[in-house]
Structure 1
Amino acid sequence: MKIASEGRRIIARMSRVNQVCTCFDSQRKTRKPQRSLAVGHQYSSLSTQPILCSSIPGLVPKQLRFCRNYVEIMPSVAEGVKIGIQECQHQFRGRRWNCTTVNDNLAIFGPVLDKATRESAFVHAIASAGVAFAVTRACADGSATICGCDTRHKGPPGEGWKWGGCSEDVDFGGMVSREFADARENRPDARSAMNRHNNEAGRMSLNDNIFLKCKCHGLSGSCEVKTCWWSQPDFRVIGDYMKDKYDSASEMVVEKHKESRGWVETLRPRYNYFKPPTERDLVYYEGSPNFCDPNAETGSFGTRDRICNLTSHGIDGCDLLCCGRGHNTRTERRKEKCHCIFHWCCYVSCQECVKVYDVHTCK
């Protein structure tokens, strides 16, 4: 998705904002660049406690300028990264790598994202999508006054309804995500090419899933008049969509080309008999560790003591999740509400029951 000239004009208009902003860590290690959008627990209050952009470690100059210029939308940028991480942890909750974060470390996923793996591809995509999603939503609900509703992509109304409400401007949200997230990816190497591709794939997921939302108007709930607008889905829909892209991600190989500016690395599909990836697909070029055992170099925490599903034959089952090591079983007693009764009018009364559950954990 290209940045339209109209979008550039809007971005230029934002330069009037102040010099203090809320930002998030973009994860640069001192020994090696760590390209990720992740935000750690040390920045959990970004949206409520503004800080000076210059105090955030690891920002490249373009990101620093962006942070200083776009003070009003930076809390939404930070919120978007957080919902991206939360969605990553939901989507991978039953897998050997479960999107675990590391405390007291700028690179909150540890060394996992050092490699150009499927996991790294997914994190970049879902975080970029999260930023675009949160900024778009903030513009539509009035949280940010420098942007608003989308009035450019309406088209003619349909039969029985007319345009109304506030259509969410996913183009603007995607533009903000692109300007900030891709600022680090300006090197002529394969990893920057991979990150730019996956960042854009994440942002395009919003365009692919936006839908027409309608509301009926009239006496007694009748639908004499119906107004409709473009709306983003719940972010869980985006997470499910990107998880499918993770499962079907395309493996690439790195090629070097001599150009006027020097050597440039590009990516091409490893296997010619598969359909080449589109701009909406995730790409990677390095294999993932098995994440079965702890490994400080790869960032694997292993799966020991992870809860597994005894009846599942999938990756969350005790056989696969525990990597063949077997599992332990213990019983847990849990208090739950039971025998609930509705009383007219209008409350519900419940008893408290103790139920016993078997919990299975990997050895």
Structure 2
Amino acid sequence: MPSVAEGVKLGIQECQHQFRGRRWNCTTIDDSLAIFGPVLDKGRKLRNWTKRRQAREQGSTPPAATRESAFVHAIASAGVAFAVTRSCAEGTSTICGCDSHHKGPPGEGWKWGGCSEDADFGVLVSREFADARENRPDARSAMNKHNNEAGRTTILDHMHLKCKCHGLSGSCEVKTCWWAQPDFRAIGDFLKDKYDSASEMVVEKHRESRGWVETLRAKYALFKPPTERDLVYYENSPNFCEPNPETGSFGTRDRTCNVTSHGIDGCDLLCCGRGHNTRTEKRKEKCHCIFHWCCYVSCQECIRIYDVHTCK
């Protein structure tokens, strides 16, 4: 469970990095680990709205079935799989270890060695954790399960061989290789691309023996249907410009913007046309650093002045 919690935190942190310059910046309501719970519910009345809004940096929480929610589920599920897999390889968990299944015939000049990371086990734990509550016959559960699996599949798709050379005088007569996960930033970058190209779906209802069941169908038949590696959603996103407890939006007031950018992080777009305020800040920074042989660095402390621009 510590690895599961660490994985959810990792997913949230990566989400906040990927969306740091957007109107929705992946700020959670109460900074809890309930990323698969009420924090994603659209239409839920947020308790202590004013208190939480003042306590948190300006940001927003994604409604239930938007592409933002799709990304959160995918990155959090991937984070759990990643953290559990890494924990197993590091030996911090007693119920798992290295992957011994990748023992096919080695290539010329290399052999299996080290500790191959058991991503299949990490994915299994993530599936048990993240999908446990998605057992309802409705569109919301179908969407969440699909996006959870898309995040986990990204981990498996990005596994790669890492090798270490062995030999006299730095030669590489023999290479020892093992399977390893990528840096989690690569997972975040990949899923961010999937967010940008997420597939819009429509909800269909049909009766089965257990009652009415909701399923998802691609909205546009002329487009290529989504695969298990794509993100899906069926509700349009709000613009996240103004605070709205109905949609979970905190708005963008007081958010720091980039006055020189013409992109979404620029003051024009991020501030939704309301304009921005400018103030100066004094910051202490290390400067005039000198390397002394051997072996330390000495620095002076400088005061530098910066202009900070925030949305009105």
TM-score by length of 2: 0.89
Task: Tell me whether 221-230 or 318-327 shows the greater mean CA deviation.
Answer: 221-230
Aligned partners of 1:103 and 1:255: how far apart in 2? 34
Task: Tell me whether 105-114 or 216-225 shows the greater mean CA deviation.
Answer: 105-114
Correspondence list, 1:170-249, <5 A: 170-249=119-198
Deviation sequence 1:256-294 (CA, Å, 0-9, x none): 112222211111111122211110000000011110001
Shift of 1:102: 2.2
Matched, 1:134 2:61: no
Aligned partners of 1:109 and 1:181: how far apart in 2? 14
Asked whether the equivalents of residues 100 and 109 of structure 1 are also in contact (C-alpha less than 8 Å), the reply is no
Q: Cα 1:104–1:98, aligned 2, differ >3 Å: closer, same or farther?
A: closer
TM-score by length of 1: 0.77
Length, aligned pairs only: 290
Deviation sequence 1:315-347 (CA, Å, 0-9, x none): 111111000111111111222112212111111
Aligned partners of 1:319 and 1:250: how far apart in 2? 28
Q: Secondary structure at the match of 2:97?
A: coil
Shift of 1:222: 2.8
Corresponding residue number in structure 2 for 1:116: 65
Asked whether the equivalents of residues 63 and 237 of structure 2 are also in contact (C-alpha less than 8 Å), the reply is no
Asked whether the equivalents of residues 101 and 110 of structure 1 are also in contact (C-alpha less than 8 Å), the reply is no
Aligned partners of 2:70 and 2:152: how far apart in 1? 13
Q: Secondary structure at the match of 2:109?
A: coil
Flag the structure with more relative contact order, 1 or 2, with Cα contacts below 8 A and sequence separation at least 6.
2
Deviation sequence 1:7-56 (CA, Å, 0-9, x none): xxxxxxxxxxxxxxxxxxxxxxxxxxxxxxxxxxxxxxxxxxxxxxxxxx
Matched, 1:91 2:18: yes
Matched, 1:102 2:41: no
Deviation sequence 1:170-199 (CA, Å, 0-9, x none): 111111111121111111111111011000
Shift of 1:110: 7.2
Q: Give runs of ≥4 in structure 1 deviating > 4 Å.
A: 108-111
Q: Secondary structure at the match of 1:78?
A: helix
Matched, 1:333 2:282: yes
Identity of aligned residues (%): 83
Q: Which runs of 5+ in 2 are unaligned?
A: 43-60
Aligned partners of 1:124 and 1:108: how far apart in 2? 11
Matched, 1:82 2:16: no
Q: Cα 1:189–1:178, aligned 2, differ >3 Å: closer, same or farther?
A: same
Asked whether the equivalents of residues 161 and 225 of structure 1 are also in contact (C-alpha less than 8 Å), the reply is yes
Asked whether the equivalents of residues 97 and 118 of structure 2 are also in contact (C-alpha less than 8 Å), the reply is yes
Task: Tell me whether 328-337 or 281-290 shows the greater mean CA deviation.
Answer: 328-337
Matched, 1:343 2:270: no
Shift of 1:237: 1.1
Corresponding letter in the other structure for 1:156: P
Corresponding residue number in structure 2 for 1:70: none
Correspondence list, 1:148-159, <5 A: 148-159=97-108
Aligned partners of 2:31 and 2:264: how far apart in 1? 30
